[in-house]
Structure 1
Amino acid sequence: MELQEIERILKETLNLNEVYAQGENAHFGVIVVSDEIAALSKLKQQQTIYAPLMPYFSTGEIHALTIKTYTTEKWEMDRLLHQAS
C-alpha cells in the first residue's frame, strides 16, 4: 500500500489538520494532527483512525499501524523544537 493512499483515505474520512504516513511492507505509522481526535481517549483515537483503514487490514495490505496524535498547538511546538536542534 502506498503512503499517499493512507494519507488520502484518512484526510477524506476524518477531520484532520495534517496527516503523515511512513513505513513499508504492510507495517506503517501515521502522525495525525487534529484537536478533535487528540481530545479523545487513546482507545477512541485508535478506533477512529483504524476504522477507515479496516478493509486494508482485512486484505493484508496493512498488517501493523502505529499512531501518534497531536493537537495543532503541540504539533507546532514539536516542529519548532526539532527545527532548533
Structure 2
Amino acid sequence: MNSEQLTEILKAAFPEADVAVTGQAGKFDLRIVDDLFQEKRPVARQQAVYAPLNDYIASGEVHAVTIRAMTKEEWRKASLFGA
C-alpha cells in the first residue's frame, strides 16, 4: 500500500472531502477535511475514517495511521496558524 492508493480509497469513501495522505511502509498520516464531520466527536470521526481501512489494517497493508479529521472551518482556522 502506498500513499496514492490510500488517497484513492479515502476519496472514494469521502467524495466531497479534501484528502491528503503522506507516509509509506504501512505508516501514514491522514488529513480528511469534510463538513460530514460537523457535530461528530473525535472518536466518531476516527471511526468514520477507519471504516474503509479496516480490511487493509487487518491484512497488515496499513498498520499505523495518524488521523486529522476536521470540518472545512476547523481546517481554515488551523491553516491560519500553520497547521
> TM-score, normalising length from structure 2?
0.84
For 1:15 and 1:39, how far apart are their aligned partners in 2?
19
1:80, distance to aligned residue in structure 2 (A): 4.4
1:4, distance to aligned residue in structure 2 (A): 1.2
Q: Which position in structure 2 is the counterpart of 1:66? A: 66
- Structure 2 unaligned segments of length 5 or more: list them: none
Identity of aligned residues (%): 32
Q: Deviations over 1:60-83 (max 9, x none)?
A: 11001110122112323333443x
- Paired residues in the alignment total 83
Question: Between Structure 1 and Structure 2, which shows a larger proportion of helix residues?
Answer: 1
1:17, distance to aligned residue in structure 2 (A): 2.3
Higher-Rg member (1/2): 1
Q: Which position in structure 1 is the counterpart of 2:79? A: 79
For 1:19 and 1:39, how far apart are their aligned partners in 2?
20
Q: Which position in structure 1 is the counterpart of 2:4? A: 4
Q: After the TM superposition, which segments of 4 or more aligned residues of structure 1 sit over 2 Å from their partners? A: 14-17, 76-82
For 1:46 and 1:69, how far apart are their aligned partners in 2?
7
- Structure 1 unaligned segments of length 5 or more: list them: none
> TM-score, normalising length from structure 1?
0.82
User: How big is the alpha-carbon RMSD for the aligned residues of Structure 1 and Structure 2?
Assistant: 1.9
